[in-house]
Amino acid sequence: MFSLKITEEQRIAREMSRKFCAKEITPKADALEKGEEKIFPVIRKFLLEVQGTGLIETVEDLEEWVQGREFITRNLVSIEVSKALPGFALSMGASLELCSFSILATGSREQQEKYVLPLVHGEKVGCWGLTEPEAGSDIRAMKSTYKKTPDGYILNGQKTFITNAPIADIFVVYAQGEKGYSAFILERGMTGLDTSPPFEKMGMQSSPTGAIYMDQIKVPKENLLGQEGQGLFDAFRVLTNERTVTPSLMIGIMERALQEATKYAKERVQFGKPIIRFQAVQFLLARIWEKLLASYSMLFTLGQMTELGLDTTLLASAAKLFTSEAATQSALDAIQVMGGHGYMREAGVERLARDAKLMEIGAGASQIQLMILGRKLLESDSVEPNPLFFGPSLFAKKE
Ligand SMILES: Cc1cc2nc3c(=O)[nH]c(=O)nc-3n(C[C@H](O)[C@H](O)[C@H](O)COP(=O)(O)OP(=O)(O)OC[C@H]3O[C@@H](n4cnc5c(N)ncnc54)[C@H](O)[C@@H]3O)c2cc1C
């Protein structure tokens, strides 16, 4: 049964992640952000040493591992990683929670063996390409196309802002064809497949982002992912999964912001006393804590709902919306508490604000999450806002 008390297994997983981050990520964070060190060798080490993925040899092991990845343990690990370096969590998530997840959700046994096993071992890097230059929030406007041939498909088009694209070996991409939107698995080295160099961006610097170019790629028929025409339906499931794991990344950022700013406020003396003694400073810190506690509550509710097999679509939208905005504001408030020092790169807090901002845009911008919630209110005859106590549907239709 779901419990708020942390289990021994969860405690060990969190401790192992903390130790790994302290030894392998935090000391290298600057070098990873500047691109002087590559991110994937460290991700690989994390997967093997902390997640134990080296023990997964077959698809059966994989299924067992996926089923055993209990929600809270998984998220406690993700919080630790994000606290150390959010870009690390983002790149690892794109390979595992987006690329692998989409192949696990709808792929054949052969596809899971060929692609997911090397992804979970960290031997290969995965990316997930939905967004296009003219299709961001309006994903149905995508221009990438596929055409059926006797032995497979021909793909043309372009994807942009794709996490890990510049370094990926395995690509899940979506294109439009005769039967609608469909998903395909591409491999680096296929003729006609190319990627851009990493884009320069505001935050999440250690996580490479880029474009995917598809020029007359001949894709074998066994690389169709899921059912032809079902691509967007499958993509929305992947997005819900992404929104379910986003709160842990944002909690990592808020925890780090609160810790750094509180420590600084206790040490910094102005007007003859530590600045934490000023109520105005205490209130800034208390606001971060308030947001952090609310975010944890949302995360645990998502865990409870996942365990009960309830539909998390709406809560995942609300949690992604709330925690991403809360993390950006918390990081900005931490800078305020730390004054000029907080504004300096060296303090490491301004990076948290730049990193957090991404999640108000990616996986569906805040306005899109509001539309998802707003549309539901508009469509429903009666609203049952508590997801836990009143059964599987947040919104019951009138009898
Ligand atoms: C660092 C980074 C990594 C990313 N990684 C990936 C990845 O791995 N895979 C992937 O597929 N994509 C990825 N993305 C893309 C991301 O999902 C898109 O940026 C996002 O969906 C928004 O699309 P857009 O940027 O085209 O903005 P637009 O859709 O052009 O939106 C611009 C603004 O208009 C608002 N808006 C749009 N439509 C409406 C509406 N109907 N009502 C109200 N407001 C609206 C938006 O909320 C936003 O504020 C990544 C983006 C970034 C920046």
Q: What secondary structure does DSSP assign to 184-212, as a single string?
A: EEEETTSTTEEEPPPPP-SS-TTS-EEEE
d(C-alpha 212, C-alpha 34), whole Å = 23
Q: Residue 339: enclosing H or E segment and its boundaries? A: helix 313-343
- The phi, psi pair for 269, rounded to 5°, reads -105, 125
Given the CA of residue 127, which atom of ligand 1 is nearest to it? 8
Contact 281, 275 (CB under 8 A): yes
Ligand 1 pocket, residue 361 CB under 6 Å: yes
Cα–Cα distance for residue pair 123/95, rounded to 1 Å: 11
Strands 152-163 and 209-220, sheet pairing: antiparallel
Give burial (CB, 10 Å; 0-12/13-18/19+) of 371: middle
Strand intervals (E) in the chain = 126-129, 145-149, 152-163, 170-177, 180-187, 193-195, 209-220, 224-225, 269-270, 273-274
Whether 128 lines ligand 1, by a CB cut-off of 6 Å, is yes
Q: What's the CA-to-centroid distance between 97 and ligand 1, angstroms?
A: 18
Q: Which amino acid type is present at position 341?
A: H
48 lines ligand 1 (CB under 6 A): no
Is the CB–ligand 1 distance for residue 173 below 6 Å? no
Distance 250 CA to ligand 1 centre (A): 18
Residue with tokens 């931490």: 334
Q: What is residue 208's predicted lDDT score, i.e. its pLDDT? A: 98
> Along the 399 residues of the chain, how does pLDDT read in single tens digits?
556 788 999 999 999 999 999 999 999 999 999 999 999 999 999 999 999 999 999 999 999 998 888 899 999 999 999 999 999 999 999 999 999 999 999 999 999 999 999 999 999 999 999 999 999 999 999 999 999 999 999 999 999 999 999 999 999 999 999 999 999 999 999 999 999 999 999 999 999 999 999 999 999 999 999 999 999 999 999 999 999 999 999 999 999 999 999 999 999 999 999 999 999 999 999 999 999 999 999 999 999 888 888 888 899 999 999 999 999 999 999 999 999 999 999 999 999 999 999 999 999 999 999 999 998 888 877 666 665 544 444 444 444
* Cα 195–Cα 97–Cα 393 angle in degrees, nearest 5: 130
| pLDDT score for 376 | 84
pLDDT value for 385? 65
pLDDT of residue 308: 83
Question: Distance between CA 232 and CA 103 in Å, rounded?
Answer: 14
Q: What does DSSP assign to residue 303?
A: H
Distance 42 CA to ligand 1 centre (A): 28
Single-letter code of the amino acid located at 253: I
CA 140 – ligand 1 centroid, Å: 13
Q: How far apart are CA 306 and CA 308, in angstroms?
A: 5
**Amino acid identity, residue 22?**
A
Residue that is written with structure tokens 């055993």 in the block: 68
Mutate to test the pocket of ligand 1, among 131, 196, 360 (most ligand atoms within 8 A of CB): 131
Query: How many Å apart are CA 356 and CA 346, to the nearest integer?
Result: 18
Per-residue CA distances from 336 to 80, 151, 274, 327, 342 (Å): 24, 60, 15, 14, 7
Q: Please work out whether the CB of residue 317 comes within 6 Å of at least one atom of ligand 1.
A: no
Kindly state the DSSP code that residue 271 receives in the 8-state scheme.
T
- Domains, the chain, ordered by start: 8-124 (1.10.540.10), 128-231 (2.40.110.10), 241-379 (1.20.140.10)
- Asked about 80 being catalytic, the answer comes back as no
Could you tell me if 300 and 323 are in contact, meaning their C-beta atoms sit under 8 angstroms apart? no
Cα distance between residue 234 and residue 215, in whole Å: 24
Active-site residue (options: 80, 242, 350, 360) = 242
Judge contact between 173 and 242, C-beta under 8 A.
Answer: no
First-last CA distance in the chain: 32
